[in-house]
Amino acid sequence: EAKSAGKACYRVFDHTMRERAELRMKLEEHLHRAIDNNELRIAYQPIVCLSTGELTGAEALLRWQHPEYGLIAPDKFIPIAEESDLIIQIESWVLDHACQQLMSWQKHLGEAAPRCIHVNLSRKQLILPELPERVSRTLQKHQMAPESLHLEVTESMIMEDIEVGITSLKALRKSGVQIDMDDFGTGHSSLSCLHEFPIDVLKVDRAFVANARHVQDYAALLEAVLVLADNLGLNVVAEGIETKEQLALLQGLDCGYGQGYLFAKPLFPEQFEELIRTYSQHPEANFACVAVGD
C-alpha cells in the first residue's frame, strides 16, 4: 500500500514538475519576444509625504501582458529573466520608459506631477561595470535631472557584490542619482555597515509596517530604524501601508514618506494621470485626506 501511494505521489510530483518546467521554458521563450511585441507594461505606485499628503514620487513596477496568460506579476518572470542576460535588456527598457514617463508627466501635469521616479535594479544590473554610464546616457536622452531618479537596490544585493556594486552606487550618487535600499529589514546586513553603504533612502519593508501594531518587537524595531535613519541623514519610505492605523502609527513616529494600497495600488499611466488630475482639481481631496479624514 505504501508502495502504491509512493508511486502515485511520484507520478503527481513528476507531472507537476514537468508541467512547471514546460511552463517555465515557454515563458522564457516568450519573454525574449516580449519587448519586441510590446507586451511589457509599467505600473506606477505613488509615494506620498506622510506629513502633508503630497505626492512626491512614483515607483515603476513591471508587468507582463502576456497574449495567452494575461497579466503576469514581476515575481513570476523577473527570476526567469535574471537567469539570463535578458534582465539587462528588460531593465534598460524599464529605465528608459520610466524616465520618459516622468518627463512627460512633468511637462503635461506641471506641479501636480511626481518629482521623482523610482526604478528597481536587479543584481545583474548592479554589477555591470558600465551601469553608471548607461544611466547617465538615459538621463541625457530624456534631459532629466539625475536628482529625479531613484534606483532601488536591496541589502542582499549590496552584500553579495560589495566591491563592484558599491563602486557603481558611489559613482551614481556622485552624479546626483539617489539610491534607495529596498525591503530594508529583510536582508542580513549588520546595522553597523549602514553608514558605509552609499544610500539616500531606506525603504522599510512592509513586514514592519504590517506587524508594528500587533507585535511589540516590530514596533520597537520600526522606531529604532527611524531614529537610526534620522541620525544617518537618510529619508525613510514605509512600504505597504494598508490601513489608517498603520499610517497614524508611522506619522506618530515621524516617518517621512509612505507607499501602499491605502494611498493607491500600482496604476497604469492613464489611471495614474486620472488620479493626479482629480487631486490637482480638488486639492482638498489629496493624499492628506486619506491621512486625516475617515
Instruction: Report d(CA 264, CA 173) in Å as an integer.
Output: 29
- Contact of 195 with 231, CB cutoff 8 Å: no
CA distances from 239 to 50, 123, 181, 206, 264 (A): 12, 21, 12, 5, 12
Q: Which of residues 122-181 bind ligand C2E (CB under 6 A)?
A: 122, 152
Q: Which of residues 221-280 bind ligand C2E (CB under 6 A)?
A: 240-242, 259-261, 266
Which of these segments, 32-40, 115-123, 143-151, 259-267, binds Mg ion (CB under 5 A)?
115-123
- Residue placing its CB nearer to Mg ion in the complex, 30 or 206: 206
- Contact of 263 with 46, CB cutoff 8 Å: yes
- Residue placing its CB nearer to ligand C2E in the complex, 121 or 282: 121
Is 101 a residue that touches ligand C2E (CB under 6 A)? no
Least CB distance to ligand C2E at residue 274 (A): 18
Long-range pairs of 158-167 with CB within 8 A, sequence gap ≥ 24? 158/126, 158/189, 158/197, 159/187, 159/188, 159/189, 160/123, 161/123, 161/126, 161/127, 164/126, 164/127, 164/129, 165/126, 165/127, 166/196, 166/197, 166/198
Q: Among 49, 74, 100, 269, indicate the residue that binds ligand C2E (CB under 6 A).
A: 74
Give the interface size with ligand C2E as a residue count (CB under 6 A): 23
Is 152 a residue that touches Mg ion (CB under 5 A)? yes
- Residue placing its CB nearer to Mg ion in the complex, 181 or 275: 181
Residues that bind Mg ion (CB under 5 A): 120, 152, 182-183, 239
Residues that bind ligand C2E (CB under 6 A): 45, 61-62, 73-75, 78, 91, 94, 120-122, 152, 182-183, 206, 240-242, 259-261, 266
